[in-house]
Amino acid sequence: MTAAAPPLVGASARRSPLPVLVLAVLTVATAQQVLVPVLAPLARDVGLSELAMGLVITTSALVFSLTSPLWGRTVDVWGHRRVMLSGLVLCLLGLLAFGAVAELAVRDQIGPTATLVLFLTTRCVLFGAGMGAVPAAAMSYVAATTSTEQRVAGLSRIGAVQGLATALGPALGALLAFAGLLGPVWAAPVLITVVLALVALRMPPPASYGVALPDGAAGRAAAKAGRAPGLKPWDPRLRPVLLVGFGMFLMLGMVMISLGFLVQDRLGVEGAEAVRAAGTVSGASGVVMVLTQALVVPRLRWAPWRLMRTGVPVAALGVLLLVPADSLLALCAASATMSLGVGVAAPGYTSAPTMLVGPEEQGGVAGLVQGVTGATFVLGPLLGSGLYGLAPEVPLLVAGGVCATGAVFVWSRPGPVPAPAATA
């Protein structure tokens, strides 16, 4: 229990901003994913190479990873509402500008080089930076709730909607493509506009829902005193948890980039049949992860370290089961097992750091967790695709070894000791 936060005294459940925050995370993640089906055909239509579009995707993930810790520290100074609104405005501006650039490029009014530079500026810098603010603000709010169970359940639901967006976004993008190549491109800012209005109108000022840091007062006081929170990944309090989480999500990034190739090579399919088979495997994995985080973990009511001790070994087993998998059923079963483990462990990874710091650092730790996770989705796909060129089994064995090492780590040491200021 946070020492500085009474249990929502004087605030009714209906005034809690958590549903609005979760919806904002879902919408921003969906707006990002809705562009997935259009990026490849858009790149070829405007004269960009596959490498150039890969640079756009990787740079966006890198900007998200670098800015998330900054937004997290800003939450402690500005408060949740201002950071959430600022991030959504940046997302909206980035997507509107990206749509305008795409329109000009499709009409041959700007060349490929200018298009690439403007795509990097709009899709990567503006949207990528704004996107980092939304989960940081949402996670920081959840970290200010009153019990371990509430934190785990709330962070689990945030993770679940992020997972849901990876399935919902591309499906919505494919549907909107019937309106034309740029249909999904213009739909994305519409989604952001709706949730921005909802947050502005329905998310009350912090003082009305009783969080540990009303309006970021504690963070501002710390900043004025010259000791503003500045958490680092190597902070000895957080290092064990962040190491395990980094390894787990690095594994996930390596495996997910390899699955599309693996399905084709193992099943001997190509073209539309390969797309359907890969979609089936990815769909099974996504459904299991979403259901685990949204329904199973909140009902388990386990402590964060117990979730990690249970989930990380299961995830490692799932990855290693992919090595011999040579049928669609075996591939689905192995990837679903991996997702079950990640779905159990991820809420433990995101909630454990909030127990290890004081109230004035909750925003900082939320941004740091998002930043560390984002870094793995820059490194994981690059590492996985490179290793797959050596042999299909190599990225799976490396990923399984990383995850198995994490399993040994969490079982060979006691759980992190919560900070006195963070728990009762």
Burial 117-153 (b: 16+ CB within 10 A, else e): ebbbebbbbbbbbbbbbbbbbbbbbbbbbbebebbbb
Note the pLDDT tens digit of each residue in 145-169.
556 667 777 777 787 787 778 767 7
| CA atoms of 329 and 377, how far apart (whole Å) | 27
Query: How high does pLDDT run on average in the chain?
Result: 80
Residues 76 and 178 in one domain: yes
- In a domain? residue 214: no
User: In this predicted structure, what is the pLDDT of residue 141?
Assistant: 80
**Domains: count for the chain:** 2
Domain that holds residue 198: 13-207
367 and 290 share one domain: yes
pLDDT in tens, 395-405: 999 999 999 99
Contact 151, 142 (CB under 8 A): yes
Q: How far is CA 273 from the centre of its chain?
A: 29
Same domain? For 115 and 184 the reply is yes
Is 237 inside any structural domain? Answer: yes
Same domain, 202 and 239: no
Nearest alpha-carbon partner for 379 in 241, 247, 240: 247
Last residue of a domain, one of 172, 207, 242: 207
pLDDT on residue 417: 62
The verdict on 259 and 164 lying in the same domain is no
Q: What is the pTM of this model?
A: 0.71
- Distance of alpha carbon 118 from alpha carbon 112, whole angstroms: 10
Tell me, yes or no, whether 96 lies in a domain: yes
The residue behind tokens 């990923």 is 399
**15 — pLDDT class (breaks 50, 70, 90):** low
Determine which of 101-110, 139-148, 361-370, 414-423 has the lowest per-residue pLDDT on average: 414-423
Domain boundary among 151, 173, 207: 207
Same domain, 157 and 40: yes
The residue out of 175, 207, 239 marking a domain boundary is: 207
| Domain containing residue 124: CATH number | 1.20.1250.20
128 and 254 housed in the same domain: no
> What's the number of CA atoms in the CB half-sphere (13 Å) around residue 134?
33
pLDDT tens, position by position, 17-54:
778 888 999 999 889 888 876 776 788 788 887 677 77
Tell me, yes or no, whether 218 lies in a domain: no
Q: Are residues 65 and 175 in the same domain?
A: yes
Exposed e or buried b per residue across 358-387, where buried means at least 16 C-beta atoms within 10 angstroms of its C-beta? bbbbbbbbbbbbbbbbbbbbbbbbebbbeb
Same domain membership, residue 310 and residue 185: no
Average pLDDT of span 329-343: 93
Same domain, 90 and 122: yes
φ/ψ of 418, rounded to 5, equals -60, 150
In a domain, 226, yes or no: no
Distance CA 283, CA 169 (A): 13
What band does 126 get if pLDDT is binned at 50, 70 and 90?
A: very high
Instruction: For residues 157 and 239, state if they share a domain.
Output: no
pLDDT recorded at residue 377: 76
Is 322 within the bounds of a domain? yes
Within-domain flag for 6 = no
Q: Are residues 203 and 241 in the same domain?
A: no
Give me the pLDDT at residue 33, please.
Answer: 81
pLDDT tens by residue, 249-303: 899 888 887 887 888 888 887 765 776 777 788 778 878 888 888 888 888 888 8
Is 7 inside a domain boundary?
no
How far apart CA 157 and CA 180 sit, in angstroms, is 34
pLDDT tens digits, one per residue of 67-125 = 888 888 888 788 888 899 999 999 999 999 999 999 999 999 999 999 999 999 999 89
What gap in Å lies between CA 347 and CA 371, rounded to an integer?
Answer: 16
Query: Could you tell me the two tokens for 16?
Result: 């809690």
